Structure 1
């Protein structure tokens, strides 16, 4: 199953899927990558159709999924995504700051340098 094959059933139903990377050719999220792999594995031997179902619409399978999601949200979060997302730019600036501090410290402690 290609990305295009996966995207077609979703595109008209759930524009959020594109935003979250499910239909993107380059995946940045480990969770989305794992989902795509599982879907591709299933599609290799089965016909897989993804359908968007509006939440709280009374669809029995969706109601069960909502119940399980609520149950799962009670415990400690697990999974490949960060529990609290940190912007990439903040990570870069923090690393630069730490590297500058380490450089300054090593410069000050080096006996052979003139300060």
Structure 2
């Protein structure tokens, strides 16, 4: 374990399992009719009341890093209130980036009260995690707290939006998330358990390969004798010469 590049003093993305009993927001997902839902998305956005605050969020992970971004608008996207990109530690997952974007958007909107706020995300897994009864992820818990805090004083909705379908808000959030992957501003986030598991698995494979190289095939040596390596070479040479 000492050889692994695991941040020993960093917070892990694990917490004591807790019941999700408070939800000061509503959610909308495709349900059993995803095609109909997707076809109605643009109409739903166009029919949003002009005084509604709309927020589009997204997360991204590339070879350059992991980033999150969001844009907040009103007046049917004609007025941009705020937009932001930020970077997460390279070990973070896209799932964490998606939740981070929602969290940061909620935190920016905490000064608003008695407003109708819609947050659009293309991460269905994030919505599912935020509405599940049991949770043991610190990232999910932080996002849930931010949503509940904002929803306590506002009419808050969390809606799913289809990615890469030409919808302006989602495309803009995607741009901001990708921009965040190269940002110098890195937000501290918990280390995901999957990152730790990958390091351990890769180390086990490495040790196994080293053991195999050093000790060789045990049963083969027992059959061919101690000079099995020399015997195998002689066999290979004989096969080549008899072609």
Count of residue pairs brought into register by the alignment: 88
Q: TM-score, normalised by structure 2?
A: 0.30
Structure exhibiting the larger radius of gyration computed from Cα positions = 2
SS class of match (1:74): coil
Match of 1:95 in 2: none
Aligned partner of 2:190 among 81, 93, 99: 81
Shift of residue 36 of structure 1?
Answer: 0.7
Greater per-residue strand proportion: 2
1:45-74 deviation line (CA, Å, top 9, x unaligned): 111111111111222221111011101122
- Aligned partners of 1:43 and 1:27: how far apart in 2? 19
Aligned to 1:41: 149
Larger RCO (CA within 8 A; separation ≥ 6): 2
**1:2 corresponds to which residue?**
22
Residue 11 of structure 1 deviates from its aligned partner by 7.8
**C-alpha distance in 1 between matches for 2:25 and 2:155:** 11
Between structures 1 and 2, the one with greater helix share: 1
Q: What SS class does the counterpart of residue 161 from structure 2 fall into?
A: coil
Consecutive unaligned residues in structure 2, runs of 5 or more: 1-20, 35-122, 201-243
For the aligned residues, what is the CA RMSD? 3.4
Q: Which structure 2 residues correspond to residues 35-114 of structure 1 after superposition, within 5 A?
A: 35-75=143-183, 78-82=187-191, 85-87=195-197, 90=200
